[in-house]
Amino acid sequence: MSTKSVEADIDGENEEGFYSGRDAHEKDYDRDPEFAEIIGSCLDDPQNARSKMEKRLRKKRNKILHTKTGSATPMQVTFNKFDFSNSYIWFELYNTPLEKDVSLLCDTIRSWHIIGRLGGCNAMNMQLSQSPMDKRPNYDAIQGANVNPTTFYNIGDLEIQENLARIWVDIGSTEPLLLDVLINALTQISTDYVGIKQVVFGGSEFENWKESLTSEDAGYSSVHKI
């Protein structure tokens, strides 16, 4: 075989039209030494390679598998003596949330708080949603600037115990639109990503929630910054 043929055989297509070496889209295994080690040991010790691959899949399954984990059952919403200035919002999930589920819930609540703190959910200034859209929309800046502001005062951290979660809020002004925005977002999350059985606004106690758990107790309460 000529030198040219050898180079072709190594780098791509050979004289017979088959690919027998690297191609232009081959993965750079130097960037994943763990995977390179598994591939390299397949011929010498296939059983060990299989064991390592199974361990790798278990460790990284949350990043590899992207199955739909939401629920087709509508999320229930109830109110229990909810005080806009000092109340808990309780969440009951169908399952104990994974790390990615907790991250999604925290990001959603954090975004909700930011929009509310900036006055983005003010029902007194809904000029566009209350105007007919069959013609060019018109926005009155003077009217918008003179509406009494609504500000989301304060919010606590998200606490989780197994499949239960809660967060304390001080919304300040009585603004139901803020609650609608949160409920709409949670409804979509429950359907597509994290099955939420129910959300309860208000109440100092909720089902099996236990106060003052430590890391040594079963069902330890984890805290996630908002």
Q: What is the pLDDT of residues 183-197, one digit of tens each?
A: 999 999 999 999 999
Residues 57 and 90 in one domain: no
| Integer Cα distance of 153 and 150 in angstroms | 9
Residues 86 and 59 in one domain: no
Global pTM exceeds 0.85: no
Question: Is 161 contained in some domain?
Answer: yes
Confidence of residue 47 (pLDDT cuts 50, 70, 90): confident
8 to each of 5, 20, 25, 27, 71, how far by Cα in Å? 5, 9, 16, 19, 53
Residues 128 and 31 in one domain: no
Tokens of 186: 């949670």
Residues 34 and 101 in one domain: no
Residues 110 and 217 in one domain: yes
State the amino acid at position 191 in one-letter form.
T
Question: Is 70 contained in some domain?
Answer: no
pLDDT at 136 over 70: yes
Question: Is 145 contained in some domain?
Answer: yes
Residues 139 and 40 in one domain: no
Residues 44 and 138 in one domain: no
Which residues span the domain enclosing 108?
A: 76-205+213-224
Residues 48 and 102 in one domain: no
- Write down the mean pLDDT value for the chain: 82
Q: Based on the structure, what is the number of domains in the chain?
A: 2
CB–CB of 174/151 below 8 Å? no
